[in-house]
Amino acid sequence: MQAGFFTTDITPPLGTMRAGNYRRMYISGIAGPLKVRAAVFEQDGCKVGFAGVDCCTLSQEVIAQALDFAAVQGGLKLDYHIISASHTHSGGAVSSFFDLALLRQADPKVAALLKDSPVPDQWFTDWVARQLGTALVMADKKREEAWLNIGTGQEDSMIFNRRFRLRDGRAYTHPGILNPDIVEAAGPVDPQVGVIGAWREDGSLIGWLLNYSCHGTTYSGSSAHGDWYHFAEETLQKLFGTASAGVILNGPCGDVTQVNNQAAGNYFGLEISRRLGFLVGAEAAKVLVRTPIRKWEKIAGCRETLMLPRRVPTPESLQKAWQDIAQSPDNPNAPDAMFARERLLAGELARLQPEREVSLTAIQLGSAVLLANPAELFTSLALKVRKNSHFPVTMLVELANDSIGYVPDAEAFDRQSGGGYETVLTAYSNLHPEAGEQIASTLSQMANRLTPEILDEPAPPEPGTPWDYGRRGPDWQ
């Protein structure tokens, strides 16, 4: 098997539209670099690519633009790819939270609402697409013979589900630190640190794939920064050398962040980013050190496309949305007005395109399978997929190959006990309540369509006999 890695820079200039909210924000400073991290693996003519892009979301259109650039400029053609947004909330806006081209066809009165929504700068989108294409081309050019080690670790000290059931029976997102009405968390976390290392025969590290599930909200400042992903990479390069490179693929964490609502503390800022990134990077380093390096030789993949219905707002709710907007003529970012705007945009999307195309991808490397979906998927669904997988190592990647918003589990939509920000109907998140279960079920089927590679284990050594020194004693005299 061959593997190559490459990194490019996408740090946005001051004044670039910033992602991470439903309102317009702009980059006001640079607190750290943002990157595209790419890898290409090849075996027996099957070539697959991975990339993690330091941005909040990536549309299918931007990824297609990057792949076209890579094909034309570098002659690169991938059989399968997993290209995901890291989901840092402190990067430049690369893609809209909604299908901007589709909404250009909306009713003019609704389309006029886009003036208050975050729309990416086209020049920045084009540049990131070229940088993404360049990273993939260069990773392909740097391919060399590689031995792999594949394994997992556990790191759960700084991740928490952000949804809680309160005494009134409903679920709330971020109900407030130490809120006395908290009964229990409404969902799990996923502590798995998945790692695939690529090594030269001389024992030096070429690069790594790292998979972990946590929102990119640890930094959360108005300046640009790569969040905890930056510090995970920094930790590994301090341990293995800056000549090594890696790709960080965020796992499903639609309801998981670094904020512990049941304990007082500071949960934002560079120190929090550094701490989480260090813990994840250090755990990944332990996996790289302790897991046997083997000559894995199997690469395979498959794709599926689902057509999933959108939620359709009632005429009464749309009329109420217009009323909410009218009540805040001078403050379009007041919460009620902002979510009213989102509901109206979601209504137009459902009218123009009742079903949303959802692309899923599975890529196998040896005994590991990576399962990619374009949603901010709830962690409970990811754990269900992993439980049903017959692969020794199963890694799930979110916001990959497109962006379709939050996709909760069915329990979150329960009419009595459900709720929370992720279930709100917006232009970003608007799929039918059953979408999460359908995505999880299909990912499980895709994983089990592939067959894990099994390598012969070394013959066990002959049974030992006592060490000459060790058989002696005890001496009392």
Q: How many helices (H) and strands (E) does the chain have?
A: 10, 24
- Contact 4/49 with Cβ under 8 angstroms? no
Residue 329: pLDDT above 90?
no
Between helix 379-388 and helix 435-449 the angle, nearest 10°, is 30
What pTM value is reported for the model?
Answer: 0.94
Asked if 38 and 139 count as a contact pair (C-beta separation under 8 A), the reply is yes
Residue 395 clears pLDDT 90, i.e. is over it: yes
pLDDT of residue 458: 83
Reported as a pLDDT band with limits 50, 70 and 90, residue 20 is: confident
pLDDT of residue 100: 82
How confident is the model at residue 205, as a pLDDT? Answer: 97
What average pLDDT does the segment 325-338 reach?
90
pLDDT beyond 90 at 29: yes
Closest CA to 305 of 344, 248, 359, 265: 359
pLDDT class for 97, splitting at 50, 70, 90? Answer: confident
Residue 423 confidence (pLDDT)? 97
Distance CA 211, CA 209 (A): 7
**Alpha-carbon distances, residue 117 vs 114, 213, 219 (angstroms):** 5, 28, 23
The alpha carbon of 342 is separated from its chain's Cα centroid by a whole number of angstroms, namely: 23
What mean pLDDT value characterizes the chain?
95
pLDDT at 384: 97
In the chain, the percentage of residues whose pLDDT exceeds 90 is 88
The pLDDT, as a whole number, for residue 114 is 85
Q: Does the pLDDT of residue 220 top 80, yes or no?
A: no
| Distance of alpha carbon 323 from alpha carbon 316, whole angstroms | 11
Residue 22 reports pLDDT greater than 90: no
Pairing of the two strands 2-9 and 144-145: antiparallel
Residue 96 has pLDDT above 90, yes or no: no
pLDDT band at 113 (very low <50, low <70, confident <90, very high): confident
Alpha-carbon distance of 64 to 257, in angstroms, equals 30
pLDDT for 117 equals 81
Q: What is the pLDDT of residues 115-145, one digit of tens each?
A: 888 889 999 999 999 999 999 999 999 999 9
Q: Burial of 265 by CB count in 10 Å (0-12 exposed, 13-18 middle, 19+ buried)?
A: exposed
Please name the residue that has the structure tokens 């740090």: 11
Decide if pLDDT at 209 tops 80. Answer: yes
| Res 389: pLDDT | 97
pLDDT of residue 457: 84
Determine the Cα–Cα distance for residues 379 and 197; give it in Å rounded to an integer: 25
Q: What is the pLDDT of residue 431?
A: 97
Using omega within 30 degrees of 0 as the cis cutoff, is the peptide bond preceding 460 cis? no
Q: What is the pLDDT of residues 148-190, one digit of tens each?
A: 999 999 999 999 999 999 999 999 999 999 999 999 999 999 9
Distance CA 433, CA 405 (A): 13
Residue 383, helix vs strand vs coil = helix
- pLDDT at residue 221 above 80? no
**What's the pLDDT score for residue 101?**
84
Is residue 163 within 8 Å of 64, Cβ to Cβ? no
Q: What is the pLDDT of residues 31-90, one digit of tens each?
A: 999 999 999 999 999 999 999 999 999 999 999 999 999 999 999 999 999 999 999 999
What pLDDT shows up at residue 427?
A: 93
The pLDDT of 353-366, averaged and rounded, is 97
